[in-house]
Structure 1
């Protein structure tokens, strides 16, 4: 499998994946991603080169966003001074579920962050999605804290914050294509 950067022409696919993931989460009783997400936000991430697709031949098996921009109001000033990458919107196509693709992408993200000089890969998860929090824990992410309500600086967000040390590795066995 190879990893490529998403292009603006991939926007409809990414929106479809998000809708499919939200529908699947609803079957589990989880309301995450049920809110509308601005297309412009995803497009800006694509244009910044932060959205990646995991390709299995012509099929897209998963998508992941990895950037240096945290969600506003979640991390302290001291934490923000530590070099880190932020992992967002990891979605595995349901046809590829259960094959360890999420774990491989997390390892890839930690490798990529380390190569960029990062010390951490950080995430934030909905504070009500305990199943996803447990998943991230199984992927080596340590719980930092849960932000509810105002967040750092009164941002009005909620989230379970976790981080995993960035490390150079080849466990992911994924090939990144320019």
Structure 2
């Protein structure tokens, strides 16, 4: 049951890196418990120096937003420039660099609320295109989630990773009115 009214969105800041890492740890553990290790692997992001540095960078970027419920961060969104592994946009855009939610609050529409916030940010910046990429492997459930939020799949892509299996990705777009 979706109840987005109990979820607010606030800008993130430098003190929010631990909250982002907690959300990533919870999501990774949820994926691992379901045998879905292709998306983010098995290692808790809070134990990875690269992920810690990335969370700290996001928290100081001005482009981090947290979904809050009862004073608790229950989701995180990072927007900005597209990642290097996707084709460049042919027009100005806002790119969703991270979307993660606390699975303990599944069904409240937190991810959809954060994506709506990304659309609001894009419109406020005069942009008509929102793009995101996601894990396109397994049963493509994540692709279907983004489709349910108004995104259309475009190009699939593969990220080649040294010493690890290739990562199947899917690029999606959402036009904004």
Indicate whether 1:50 and 2:74 are aligned. no
- CA shift in 2, pair 1:97/1:115, >3 Å: same
Deviation, structure 1 residue 144 = 0.9
Whole-angstrom distance in 2 between the partners of 1:113 and 1:121: 7
What is residue 151 of structure 2 aligned with on the other side? 141
Q: Structure 2 length as normaliser, TM-score?
A: 0.79
Q: Secondary structure at the match of 2:150?
A: coil
Pairing 1:10-49 to 2, within 5 Å after superposition: 10-31=16-37, 32-34=39-41, 36=48, 37-49=50-62
Do 2:82 and 2:95's aligned partners in 1 also have CA atoms closer than 8 Å?
yes
Deviation, structure 1 residue 157 = 6.6
Do 1:111 and 1:166's aligned partners in 2 also have CA atoms closer than 8 Å?
no
Indicate whether 1:98 and 2:107 are aligned. yes
Deviations along 1:17-66, one digit per CA (max 9) or x if unpaired, are 10110111122322222264521122112211111111223212211111
Deviation, structure 1 residue 133 = 0.8
Q: Secondary structure at the match of 1:148?
A: strand
Whole-angstrom distance in 2 between the partners of 1:100 and 1:157: 27
Higher relative contact order (CA 8 A, sep 6+): 1
What is residue 72 of structure 1 aligned with on the other side? 84
Deviation, structure 1 residue 162 = 0.3
What is residue 175 of structure 1 aligned with on the other side? none
State the superposition RMSD in angstroms: 2.0
Whole-angstrom distance in 1 between the partners of 2:98 and 2:32: 17
Deviations along 1:140-162, one digit per CA (max 9) or x if unpaired, are 11111101256xxxxx8742000
Q: Unpaired segments of 5 or more residues in structure 2?
A: 1-6, 161-165
What is residue 127 of structure 2 aligned with on the other side? 118
- CA shift in 2, pair 1:157/1:24, >3 Å: closer
Number of paired residues? Answer: 158
Deviation, structure 1 residue 132 = 0.4
Do 1:73 and 1:157's aligned partners in 2 also have CA atoms closer than 8 Å?
no
What is residue 166 of structure 1 aligned with on the other side? 176
Q: Unpaired segments of 5 or more residues in structure 1?
A: 151-155, 168-178
Deviations along 1:48-88, one digit per CA (max 9) or x if unpaired, are 11111112232122111112x11103114xx2x41111113
